[in-house]
Amino acid sequence: MNRKTWMPIVAAIAMAAGIIAISGSQSTAAQEAAQVIEVSAKKYEFAPAEIHVKKGTNVRLKVTATDRDHGIELDVFPRGSDKKGDPGLKFSVEKPTFKLPKGEAQTIEFTANQPGTYEFKCSVFCGTGHRGMKGQIIVDP
């Protein structure tokens, strides 16, 4: 094989390797880029209780119980849906229920795949106002 034959092959391989390297670094950056939202949980309330994100956003909630242990349970299907098919909020766990030990930030990550209103609530009984300790994630188109 002479030089004229293998030079285009070498050039094509080098270009392909460069494209793979560039796309790999972009996908890693996209995976790491997340909208970080700080949430506090205290007696009978989450703050903020209403969280807005855009469809397609990777979200990282940092939830801290400030007064005592709490919990958080998030719906994966939007309010009013038939709860069939793919969930609108995609978590790495099947059932997104998390314990919130007092003073420890808990990181909860998900992708907002479908527009709608998704409810969350305290999942650890915390007193007489426990049933009212709720919030919602609103995924805008």
Please count the other Cβ atoms lying within 10 Å of the Cβ belonging to residue 45: 15
What was the pLDDT predicted at 94?
84
What domain range is 2 assigned to?
A: 1-33
**In the sheet that 134-140 helps form, which strands lie side by side, from edge to edge?**
50-54, 134-140, 116-121, 70-74, 97-100
**What is the H or E stretch that residue 29 is in?**
helix 3-32
What was the pLDDT predicted at 1?
54
Q: Are residues 123 and 57 in the same domain?
A: yes
Q: Are residues 21 and 73 in the same domain?
A: no
Q: Are residues 48 and 95 in the same domain?
A: yes
Q: Are residues 86 and 125 in the same domain?
A: yes
What was the pLDDT predicted at 115?
98
Whether the Cβ atoms of residue 107 and residue 37 lie closer than 8 Å to each other: no
What was the pLDDT predicted at 83?
87
Q: Are residues 81 and 126 in the same domain?
A: yes
Residues of the chain predicted below pLDDT 50: 14, 19-30
Single pTM value for the model: 0.76
Q: Are residues 77 and 90 in the same domain?
A: yes
Domain count for the chain, please give it. 2
Q: List all residues 6 or more positions away from 130 whose beta carbon is below 8 Å from its beta carbon.
A: 44, 122
Q: Are residues 63 and 77 in the same domain?
A: yes
Q: Are residues 12 and 65 in the same domain?
A: no
Q: Are residues 77 and 123 in the same domain?
A: yes
Q: What is the CATH number of the domain that holds 67?
A: 2.60.40.420
What was the pLDDT predicted at 79?
95
Q: Are residues 51 and 108 in the same domain?
A: yes
What was the pLDDT predicted at 12?
52
Q: Are residues 42 and 101 in the same domain?
A: yes
